[in-house]
């Protein structure tokens, strides 16, 4: 899951809130956050996320939008599930935590 948005605070906050919620439900989750020592290259992060997802782990990547189209195409080509949401208080980014949670757990 790629969490985009206008500010790093919005992206990181949404990523960790979602991870906490999924962990509470016993899902396997990894947040690939560059501020926690993960790579900063979107394509390499995308590869890590793809490998994790193929192994049943929800990979959450708080990131800016550069590099996202390449990652989206790679996931599609390999048949790996890919979800992208925009985390912001802006009207154009209206996804809620509940909607995103539903997408990931199949309850939406």
C-alpha 12/C-alpha 18 separation (Å) is: 10
53 or 101, greater pLDDT: 53
Residue ranges covered by each domain of the chain = 2-105
pLDDT per position as a tens digit, 55-82: 999 999 998 777 788 888 988 999 988 8
In the numeric block, the tokens 């899951």 are attached to: 1
Other C-beta atoms closer than 10 Å to the C-beta of 1 total 24
Q: How confident is the model at residue 105 (pLDDT cuts 50, 70, 90)?
A: low
pLDDT of residue 90 exceeding 60, the answer is no
Give percent helix, percent strand, percent coil of the chain, each to the nearest 5. Answer: 50, 15, 40
Query: Are the beta carbons of 63 and 2 closer than 8 angstroms?
Result: yes
Statement: the pTM of the whole predicted model exceeds 0.85: no
C-alpha 34/C-alpha 108 separation (Å) is: 29
Hey, what CATH class is 2-105 in? Answer: alpha beta
């Amino acid at each position: 899951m790629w969490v985009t948005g206008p500010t790093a605070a919005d992206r990181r906050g949404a990523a960790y809130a979602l991870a906490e919620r999924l962990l509470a439900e016993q899902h396997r989750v990894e947040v690939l956050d560059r501020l926690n020592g993960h790579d900063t290259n979107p394509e390499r992060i995308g590869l890590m996320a793809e490998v994790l997802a193929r192994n049943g782990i929800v990979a959450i990547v708080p990131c800016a939008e550069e590099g996202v189209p390449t990652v989206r195409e790679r996931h599609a080509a390999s048949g790996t599930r890919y979800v992208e949401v925009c985390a912001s208080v802006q009207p154009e980014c209206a996804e809620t935590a509940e909607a995103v949670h539903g997408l990931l757990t199949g309850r939406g």
